[in-house]
Amino acid sequence: MLSNLVAGGDRLLVLALILPVASLMLAFVLGGRHAERIALATLPIGLAVAVAIAAAVLHGDAPLHTDLGGWAPPLGVALRADGLSAIMLLTTAVVMVAVGLFARADFQVPPGTTESRAPFAFWTLLLALWAALNAVFLGEDLFNLYVALELLTFAAIPLVCLDGRAQTLAAALRYLVFALLGSVLYLLGAALLYGAYGTLDIGQLAARIGGDPLEPAALIAAALMTAGLLAKTALFPVHLWLPPAHAGAPAAASALLSALAVKASFFLILRIWFDVMPELLAQMAAQVLAALGAAAILFGGVLALRQARLKMLIAYSTIAQIGYLFLIFPLVASPETAPLAELRNAPGAWTGGALQLVSHACAKAAMFMAAGLIAASLGHDRIRDLGGIGRALPMTLFAFGIAGMSLMGLPPSGGFMAKWLLLLAAMQCGQWWWMLVILAGGLLTGAYLYRVLATALSTQGPSPVLVKPVDRSREWVVLGLALISVLLGLVPLSSFSLIQIGRDVSGIGVGLP
Amino acid sequence: MSSVTLFGLCGAALVGLGLYGLIVLPGALRRIIAFNLLGSGVFLLFGVIARRGGGVIAGTGSDPVPQALIITGLVVAFAATALAVALLRRLLQETGRDDWDEDERSDR
Amino acid sequence: MSAALIVDLGLTLLILGLGVWTVAARSNNGAVVGYIAYGLLVALVWVRLAAVDVALTEAAIGSGLTGLLLLGVATRLPRSARLTRPPTGLGTRLLAGFLSAAVAGGLAAVVLLLPDPAPTLAPSVAANLPATGLGNPVTGVLIAFRAIDTLLESVVLVFAIIGVWSLAPKDGWGERPGWLRPAPLGSALTLLAQLLPPIGILVGIHLFWTGATAPGGAFQGGAVLAAMWVLAMIAGLARPPAVSRRWLRLMLVAGPALFLTVGIAGIWLAGAFLAYPVAYAKPLILVIEAALTLSIAAALGLLLAGPPEHPSAAERQP
Amino acid sequence: MNFNLLFALALATPVALLLACLWRPARERMLSLLVLAPLPALAVALVALLDADAMPALMLDPGRQIGLSLDQPGAILLGVAALLWSAAGAYAATYLRGKPHGGRFAIFWLLTLTGSLGVFVAADLLSFYLTFALVSLAAWGLVAHDDTPGARRAGVIYLLLAVVGEVLLLLAFVLLDVASPGASLAIDTVVATLPESPWLAATLALLIAGFGLKAGLAPLHVWLPVAHPAAPMPASAVLSGVIVKAGIIGLIRFLPWDAGLDWWGAALTGIGLVTAFYAVAMGIVQSNPKTVLAYSTASQMGLVAAILGMGLAVGDREAVTAGTVYAAHHLLAKGALFLAVGVFAATARRRLWPVLVPAAILALGFAGLPPTGGFLAKLAAKPVLGSGLVGLLASLAAAGSTLLMIHFLYRAAASASPDPGARAAAGLVWPWWLLFLAALLLPWTLAPLAGLSPWSVMTDRSLLWSGLWPILAGGVLALALQRWGARLPRVPEGDLLALFTGSPRWANAVGEMLERTETWLRQWPVAGLSLLILTLVLWLPMLTRP
């Protein structure tokens, strides 16, 4: 059974790419109530495909690879799924399923109409976002990835302003133009790489670059692409678009955007730095990225602490959590990590970074959805006035709390394991200053969570008046996702070998000046 | 200096010009135009790269792969512009404003 | 210095001048008109760079349709907006100028330092083109070698349509798109409506001229068709269809759907997704091209037509 | 029954009760079940202490040695802790009956209980960190339970310091793991290689600070006198009795006992003795009996730290046993006294004597009154502390304890119910009596472990005298305090915290500054410029690479 999966791995990749596209077109044509039905029917199939890909990668202990149209790169375009891609595909599928189930109550065609705007847009865009994310995680060709990035932008922007308020329109427009600026910089870099090496295939580029000094075009290309992708990832200080966009969108959309959309561009930064030009990792530029990440952790944390609204708080928390991802750049590369790689068979920073990606995705989606439930039942999300919500919505608040626990890095959550591994790696590289940042970030996270939870658990004052009863099944969805983010920390570390497949991280940077 | 290099430098200058306009110009429309300038500078640079690698097939003097990519890119850029303009027109309709800079604090 | 170089130098200077004008122009309309002219000149540069397919696309989409879009919004902008807005500070402008110049300088240096001989895929394309039965290598790349990009790009247009439609104001859903109402005589739009047909004809002549060896591209063809449709709508000869129409949606996805279907069939018929069986490659490609042209024309036209609006919304338009 | 299964049940029982709390009817009745939750742990400890060869161990990840195990100090503390938890749970069921939010209290109680029992049995870094974090953070729910402004403030201060402690320990654990060459995370293994660690000084400093904070060593003791008075009575009992012991077991587990780190031992002893005296000085100017008890806890933990420090200095594992016995006695006696405070408050003044006398016996037990369990604890520590300066200081500290505890008895008697007919409910009285007896007698059963024979101890006059004179001295001091105590300055609860009253304003100013920065950064031109600068900053280092 598993061997069959490995043998048919290339078709699985194609399936992962075209399934959401085909569903999207079908939903677009049929419209109305069919859009929701088609999207919901796609969820389990997409999840199964993602699971199958992960199983095939794990069982075959090698990346899956396929040349589209039978044309091998550099002329053709290839798809590839290594361990990290498989994990991202799986995370995407899990979050999609949860958000899809959660959103049913919010995006139903009202009775008496055949089709209405918000449900039609939401369900088609959900599939669109899925297609875009899968294209990003599977792409092996830099231009193909550009198209995938644009797919992502086009799917994400309308989600931001789904409710049509002027504020969200402004947020969406700002997001769009800034994201487009990022895409153009990325495209410019890709063009220059083609000019220097005559191929856009990541594997071939890496082979042609080899150990040689980089072409001048490649250097500026790396800088341009990284900067462009940073703009789309909303790393401090180019995060201007994120708080209003993520906080203004409907809860289900915020969950998708915060948990998944920003991770796609980060994933491409990883691809460029680790797969195309690993030489970069041994340079000052890696320290620059980590320094920005550190600034994001501290700055985002303080700003989250000072927000008046729950969804804004969560949005700033995303800015802080993105910062952690950038700490891995100087920590994976340094030669001192080599002994670690031999010992543990898993460079800590790399595994920690991947764990952070996944656990933040689950936790943040759960938090946004929990905030959505709270806002829907209270009619507002002012943190000051959340008093007593712990009694009214105990399960929602519990889910919010344990998701927050994972963000804060309390054991035994996935966030704790991620931070533990990053701390170990920082110490092993002799770069202890990142440890202080990680810990300070944890303190700030704890502080802003305390603000929410202490208010919500308060017994003073009258019980909150619920304008709308909360749907128990939606609470279960949120709780399930939050539990996943916590349980990730209980998975024995040895089973994270999937993250390593297809990528020889341990060798990167060793022996470089 | 050849014409190709000249156009390459022109592309580089257009990128700079587009970046400048995108950053300093007030108002969404002007920024969208500047974005298009920036994009066309990028495409021009890519076209120069294509031209430098051309001249192999009779009848075409340019590497067809970048050409195809540029065509794809042009269509994507148009779609992006259309979405941006649609957002801008809706924003105008709702608020009468043509930018997204002001009123930051009201969301907080 | 050869005569060609002098012409190119002049072209470059003109383009840069127009570029500066679109950034520096005081009025929005001026900037848009400057941009349209700029786009036409860039199309000339593409011809000079031996990229005729790109030139066609640039003229039709980059300059024509984008220009229409921009004009459509420029005429609706309040004139007073510029006065109430504080201008960007001098320090910011200086810094932005310096940094943009630094990036441009870096790029210029890179252009001069590109490797020689330049790496290229042209020979590889030439060697594999016969397998597709096509004469135009650019089409070969678009439809065969990098078919996935083209497929995804036609899907991008569907995404964009969903995005634009999702902006429908209250009560607008299911109605006709509201932007392309017949324009009053003498406005900038009607002026353009009179200007554009000659360009469309020029494009047609070019297609006729190269048609024997090159089938032309779906994008160029679709763009020209879309432009004609838009002109017809502006002139009041056609009304945009309501977005709830099933046939309209089918038309929008016909191209990508057919492309996808043939691609999936390729898994069994030719051994790989998006591969064509050699014997039927050319007819299959032509069918796909035809469907894509139709879908692209519909999508581009509808992107210009904007989100659906309740008919009564016309009075509220600023 | 399989012993390992019982061992697993020790932690699984409170977790199962916690899960049951998800069901509303179970949650509402959970208070009356709290008494049962620690019983399997008590059984495990008893079996392990009776049969020293049967120490259980459960490995979840054998490769990295992640799991639970028990040793003698762990078993002693686990047993007495389970006893206190059980008695306090029974007390809580009566104390909180009819008051709102009992379900929430039960949830936090069970969470804290799980972590508190877990720290005594965790065998590896990660399990220890998990359980330690659980006991530290969940106890916030007990401290802040009353939800009055005072309780909320106490909760914030408690949580802030607890999280700071977590951070210090996390750093220490990372240093431990990095310095250890193998994959094993077992505490024994990583601590064994600690003396060769290049970061020995940093690790020890972090460990002592982190665990010292939890144990209440000065100057990080400030949370104790704030948190204890705020919490409900049974919660104060477990806070002061068990939760501070998480710090002690941490020191016992993580300090390298065989290395003979004389300087570090001296430092720990010094900190301990300073705490012992400083807490007495701060305690005698307090008026709330619970605050006085909290300062007494800090003082007593100072003595435990002094004992451990002496052992650390010379590489003597006897100190661990002595410290464990001392801590075990304190755990029971302090828990009992906190329960007694609740009984006092519910008892009319004229009926006070039956409670006050046993309370006085326990209170003076901290000073080593023969023949209480406290006397034995002091005797066990005597060889470790020696007869030199440290031994003398420890005896003087016992005099200080006497003074503090007599002050406590006065304050407690003054807190008796003004209602002349008031009588404490049976559900409050019997747990207190149970703990009283346990604190009095149980240490004697531990005497053989500390190498003492009860009979010979009780017949040695010089030993009896050495236990009695600090009490007499303390009594004289107490008379002096009665006479002149009113002249002493009042010190607010949490003494040193008063230095930080201005810090919220500072934090706010920093926050406002960052908010303004954010508004500026999010302007479009600024963000655009940032992106360009970022591009150049990424590009230029690449160019200048040699």
What are the tens digits of pLDDT across the range B62-108? 888 999 999 999 999 999 999 999 999 998 888 877 777 654 444 33
- What lies within 8 Å, CB to CB, of D328 at 6+ separation is D76, D77, D80, D377, D442, D443, D446
Q: How many Cα atoms occupy the beta-carbon half-sphere of D515 within 13 Å? A: 14
Contact check, Cβ <8 Å, C54/B71: yes
Contact D228/D236 with Cβ under 8 angstroms?
yes
Q: Flag whether residue C252 sits within 8 Å of chain B, measured between CB atoms.
A: no
C51 chain-B contacts, CB cut-off 8 A: 47, 50-51, 62, 67, 70
Tell me what percent of the residues of chain D surpass a pLDDT of 90.
Answer: 46
What number of H helices and E strands is found in chain C? 13, 0
Residues C187, C188, C194: CA angle, nearest 5 degrees: 95
Mean pLDDT throughout D135-151? Answer: 90
Which chain C positions have a beta carbon within 8 Å of B17's beta carbon?
A: 16, 19-20, 23, 100, 104
Are the beta carbons of D401 and D323 closer than 8 angstroms?
A: no
* In chain D, where the domains are located: 3-499, 510-543
Q: What is the CATH number of the domain that holds B67?
A: 1.10.287.3510
Q: Does C97 touch chain B (CB under 8 A)?
A: yes
**Spatial CA neighbour of B2 closest among B59, B61, B57, B43:** B61
Least Cα distance to D21 among D6, D8, D39, D34 occurs for D34
Closest listed residue to residue B44, CA positions, set B20, B21, B18, B26 = B18
Contact A220 C270 (CB under 8 A): no
Kindly list the partner chains of chain D, i.e. chains with 3 or more CB atom pairs below 8 Å: A, B, C
Tens of pLDDT along A362-395? Answer: 999 999 999 999 999 988 889 988 888 888 888 8
Range of the domain at B66: 3-97
Inform me whether the C-beta atom of residue A338 falls under 8 Å from chain B C-beta atoms: no
Asked if residue C105 is part of any domain, the answer here is no
Does the pLDDT of residue A339 top 60, yes or no?
no
CB contact under 8 A, B90 and A169: yes
- B95 and chain C: CB distance < 8 Å anywhere? no
Instruction: Kindly report the number of other CB atoms within 10 A of residue D421's CB atom.
Output: 8
Average pLDDT, integer, range D293-316: 92
The confidence band for A306, taking pLDDT boundaries of 50, 70 and 90, is very high
| Residue C127, phi-psi category: left (phi > 0), alpha (psi -120 to 50), beta (remainder) | alpha
Domain carrying residue C43: 1-78
Q: Are D339 and D435 in contact (CB under 8 A)?
A: yes
pTM score, whole prediction: 0.92
Up-side HSE of residue B28: CA atoms within 13 Å toward CB?
Answer: 35
User: ∠D171-D172-D178 over CA atoms, to 5°?
Assistant: 90
Residues 6+ away with beta carbon under 8 Å from C204: C224
Residue A248 or residue A8, greater confidence: A248
Query: At residue B11, does pLDDT exceed 90?
Result: yes
B86 reaches C (C-beta below 8 A): yes
pLDDT of residue D371: 81
Confidence of residue A227 (pLDDT cuts 50, 70, 90): very high
| Of A424-428, A474-478, A487-491, highest mean pLDDT | A474-478
Q: What is the overall mean pLDDT for chain B? A: 86
Closest to A475 measured CA to CA, from A404, A407, A397, A414: A397
Interface of D with B in 495-524 (CB under 8 A): 519, 522-524
Smallest Cβ–Cβ distance between C19 and the set B14, B61, B79 belongs to: B14
Question: Based on the number of CB atoms within 10 Å of its own CB, is D499 exposed (0-12), middle (13-18) or buried (19 or more)?
Answer: exposed
pLDDT of residue A342: 43
Q: pLDDT-derived band of residue A341, with 50, 70 and 90 as boundaries? A: very low
Residue B57 pLDDT greater than 60, yes or no: no
* Exposure on the CB side of residue D164, measured as CA atoms within 13 A: 14
List of chain C residues with pLDDT < 50: 82-84, 205, 208-209, 211-212, 315, 317-318
- Mean pLDDT comparison of A305-314, A503-512, C23-32, C276-285, highest-scoring range: A305-314
Q: Do A238 and D531 touch (CB under 8 A)?
A: yes
D contacts of C96 (beta carbons < 8 Å): 525, 528-529, 532
pLDDT over 60 at A450, yes or no: yes
Strand A78-81 relative to strand A64-67, pairing: antiparallel
A78 φ/ψ angles, rounded to the nearest 5 degrees: -110, 155
Q: Does one domain contain both C217 and C135?
A: yes
Beta-carbon contacts of A104 under 8 Å, excluding residues fewer than 6 positions away, are A36, A40
C-facing residues of D in 489-528 (CB < 8 A) are 525-526, 528
Least confident of A251-255, A366-370, D50-54: D50-54
Question: Chain C, 31-50: which have a CB under 8 Å from a chain A CB?
Answer: none
Whether A213 shows a pLDDT value over 60: the answer reads yes
The answer on C172 and C303 residing in a single domain is yes
Return the higher-pLDDT residue of A356 and A10. Answer: A356
* Interface residue B108 vs chain A (CB under 8 A): yes
Task: Take residue D76 and report the two structure tokens written for it.
Answer: 């002693």
Is residue B61 over pLDDT 90? no
What pLDDT shows up at residue B107?
39
Mutation choice for A interface testing from D193, D531, D538, D539 by most A CBs within 10 A: D538
* Average pLDDT across chain D, whole number: 88
DSSP string, A331-372: HHHSTTHHHHHHHHSS-HHHHHHHHHHHHHHHHHHHHHHHHH
DSSP-based three-state secondary structure for C31: helix
* Percent of chain A topping pLDDT 70: 93
Report yes or no on C86 lying in a domain. Answer: no
Separation CA D406–CA D410 (nearest Å): 6
CA-nearest of D197, D139, D146 to D166 is D139
- Residue ending a domain, choose from C43, C78, C113: C78
Mean pLDDT across chain A, nearest whole number?
88
For residues D200 and D191, give the distance between their C-alpha atoms in angstroms, rounded to a whole number.
10
The pLDDT of residue C185: 58
Residues C318 and C178 grouped into a single domain: yes
Q: Is D451's pLDDT higher than 80?
A: no
Q: Find the range with the poorest average confidence among A2-6, B77-81, D293-297, D519-523.
A: A2-6
| The predicted structure's pLDDT at residue C204 | 54
Instruction: Report the alpha-carbon distance of residue D463 to residue D456 in Å, rounded.
Output: 10
**Among A337, A334, A462, which residue's Cα sits nearest to residue A389?**
A462
Q: What's the gap in Å between the CA of B71 and the closest CA on chain A?
A: 12
Closest CA to A128 of A102, A108, A154: A154
More confident residue, A129 or D468: A129
Quote the pLDDT of residue A347.
Answer: 66
pLDDT at residue D538 tops 60: yes
Our count of domains for chain B comes to 1
Are C171 and C270 in a shared domain?
yes
CB within 8 Å of A21: residues ≥ 6 apart: A127, A131, C155, C256, C260
ipTM surpassing 0.85, yes or no? Answer: yes
Question: B-C interface: how many C-beta pairs under 8 angstroms?
Answer: 290
Is the previous residue joined to D198 through a cis bond, with omega within 30 degrees of 0?
Answer: no
- Tokens describing residue A489: 């920390």
As a whole number of Å, the CA-based R_g of chain B is 18
What band does D527 get if pLDDT is binned at 50, 70 and 90? very high
Do C132 and C64 share a structural domain?
Answer: no
User: Where does a domain end: C21, C48, C78?
Assistant: C78
| pLDDT, position A50 | 95
Q: Tell whether D529 is within 8 A of chain B (Cβ).
A: yes
- Is any Cβ of chain D less than 8 angstroms from the Cβ of B108? no
The pLDDT, as a whole number, for residue D493 is 80
C166 touches A at CB < 8 Å: yes
Please give the residue of chain D at the shortest CA–CA distance from C96: D529
What pLDDT was estimated at residue C190? Answer: 65
Q: How many CB pairs under 8 A join C and D?
A: 20
- Asked if A328 and A355 touch (Cβ cutoff 8 Å), the reply is no
List CB contacts (< 8 A) between D535 and chain C.
Answer: 103
pLDDT at B108: 35
Determine the Cα–Cα distance for residues D128 and D115; give it in Å rounded to an integer: 9
pLDDT for D293? 93
**B24 close contact with A: CB closer than 8 A:** no
User: Is the residue at C110 inside a domain?
Assistant: no
Measured between alpha carbons, how far is residue D506 from residues D42, D252, D511, D514, D517 in Å?
48, 38, 9, 13, 17
Domain count within chain C: 2
Residue A343: the pLDDT is 40
